[in-house]
Amino acid sequence: MSDARTSAHILVIGGGFSGVAAAAALRARGHVVTLLERHAVLGGRARSDARSEGAVDTGAQLIASSFTHTMRLLAAARLDATNARDVFVRDGKRLPIRFGSIASMLRFGGLGPGDKLKLGTTLLPLLARHAGSLRADDNDGLEALDGVSARSFVERAISERAANVLVEPPLNAFYGARGRETSLAFFLALGRYGSDATLLASRDGWSHVLATAADGVRLELNAHVDVIQITPAGAVARDRTHREWRADAIVIATSAAVAHAFLGPIVGETHALVRWLASVVTRPTWTVMLTLEQPLRAETFGVLADPSEATMVSACALPAGRWTAEDRSAGIVLAWPTPDAVERLANHPVAEIVAAMMPEIERLVPETRGAVARARVFRFDEGTPLAEPGFLAHRAFGRGLEEALELPVALAGDYLTMPLVEGAVVSGERAAGRIARILARA
Ligand SMILES: Cc1cc2nc3c(=O)[nH]c(=O)nc-3n(C[C@H](O)[C@H](O)[C@H](O)COP(=O)(O)OP(=O)(O)OC[C@H]3O[C@@H](n4cnc5c(N)ncnc54)[C@H](O)[C@@H]3O)c2cc1C
């Protein structure tokens, strides 16, 4: 192994936000870093589709200026503030709302004064009291909030209607999760990040932004790693086409399932960390992308369904609605299935998924009616990790098991922290710190 005080060679497997954050942090420490990504572009669940009219983000859409670790990672990239006005659709009426900011919901026309009063005396004080710990990098003292589901808390403290309006749409659409299977601590962390923050995106798409952040990192795209080995001389990764990379240490920045498949053969299926990786609960998510025959005027970004009215679609988004000025993605509409629809349609072909979702998409965005030139489905079958009640303790336990692993290997991925971009970035920086400690001991 090379001398940690000079420069080591590190492999990072996975080019999502967590892998790029790990690679950039290791590069900044002076190491030579090779990043292996199975897709043709960086981004993972935040990857962009490169179209002739411009890039369209297919997974993660927006980040908040309150994502401090992400802001540092992307300091050299060009980000644009968005309007990101959303509407909540009930009985065919569009009620303006800005999701992510619980405070903004106090102005929302879809909740009665009684519900708003209770919101102001229950959720908002909780948010204020715990603001310092509702973060992807510091969760001290949140045990009580983590032990209860977001839905049951809001139902009890406010009302069932408030749970349908405040809890379900953002969790269903962007995190593939139901309110009852999501920790109140995670829901409040979303509120904390969304409060008093500017929402940001890139007109060039996240894949481009991540390539900028990975400056100085050797990128190997279309490298689907099959197997890793740890030898006394270091680490080896091989891809499906039998290409091989050797290094002093490896960061595995994939899903928990892929990390499980890599580590199982090395440390054994009964190893506590391998069993913990198998215990991470994920749900596949998809994004349906419709290209319309004509561009449409987009004055809003998110169009969220009332879950008491919609069973197949939880939200649509009009990418062009992020910006004030005209946008090249003006003919694009994105749609996300409900968690129920994902479970029901899991093994169905693309055409059936689109056909099943189309009637509700047309109700949410009537301009799509009879105007779709092309439909595609971007599948994130590796899944989004659910932040179930108790997830903070579960994640801390897993990180402890990883710390005890005596191999030149570190794990990164939002399943180790919180399932959002900031959580992925924090996990990548942690992995880089672990590699630095391992190299210092060697
Ligand atoms: C539809 C959707 C909307 C979302 N919206 C938001 C949002 O608006 N804001 C927000 O903050 N978060 C959002 N999220 C969550 C956010 O996208 C994720 O938290 C974050 O992108 C996860 O990054 P990651 O690096 O941990 O994992 P991933 O992005 O999954 O990265 C893992 C990478 O590893 C690669 N890989 C896997 N196996 C191999 C292998 N064998 N060899 C080589 N490479 C491999 C994958 O291709 C992938 O690039 C959204 C997620 C989804 C699905």
* Within-domain flag for 265: yes
**First-to-last CA distance in the chain?**
7
Q: Is there a single domain that holds both residue 276 and residue 209?
A: yes
- How far apart are the CA of 45 and the centre of ligand 1, in A? 3
**Domain end marker among 161, 190, 219:** 190
Enclosing domain of residue 22? 9-47+205-281+387-441
Kindly report the protein residue whose alpha carbon is nearest to atom 14 of ligand 1.
Answer: 60
Judge contact between 304 and 319, C-beta under 8 A: no
- The pLDDT, as a whole number, for residue 50 is 85
Indicate if ligand 1 lies below 6 Å from the C-beta of 110. no
Other CB atoms within 10 Å distance of the CB of residue 119? 22
Whole-number Å distance between alpha carbons of 414 and 386: 10
Residue nearest to atom 51 of ligand 1 (CA): 60
Same domain, 225 and 274: yes
142 and 105 both lie in a single domain: yes
What pLDDT score does 2 carry?
44
Candidate ranges 74-78, 232-236, 250-254; pick with highest mean pLDDT? 250-254
Q: Which atom of ligand 1 is nearest to the CA of 419?
A: 19
Q: How many domains does the chain have?
A: 2
Is the pLDDT assigned to residue 169 strictly greater than 70? yes
Q: What is the CATH number of the domain that holds 417?
A: 3.50.50.60
Residue 103 and residue 186 in one domain: yes
| pLDDT, tens digit (0-9, with 9 covering 90-100), for 80-125 | 998 778 899 998 899 988 766 666 777 888 889 999 999 989 998 9
Q: Quick check: 278 pLDDT over 80?
A: yes
Q: pLDDT by residue (tens digit) across 308-365?
A: 899 999 999 998 888 876 655 678 999 999 999 999 998 899 999 999 999 999 999 9
CA-nearest residue, atom 20 of ligand 1 = 421
Q: Whose CA is nearest to atom 49 of ligand 1?
A: 44
**How far is Cα of residue 147 from the mean position of the Cα atoms in its chain?**
22
> In angstroms, what is the span from residue 218 Cα to ligand 1's centroid?
20
Residue 346 C-alpha to ligand 1 middle, in angstroms? 19
Residue 358 lies in a domain: no
- Global pTM value: 0.96
Q: Name the residue with the closest Cα to ligand 1, atom 2.
A: 59
Band the pLDDT of 4: cuts 50, 70, 90: very low
Average pLDDT over residues 280-295: 93
Q: Considering the domain boundaries, does residue 356 fall inside one? A: no
Does residue 18 have its Cβ closer than 6 Å to ligand 1?
yes
Confirm or reject: Cβ of 214 under 6 Å from ligand 1: no
- Pocket flag, ligand 1, residue 66 (CB < 6 Å): no
**Spatial distance between the Cα atoms of 214 and 193, rounded to a whole number of angstroms:** 25
Instruction: Decide which of 139, 158, 190 is a domain's last residue.
Output: 190
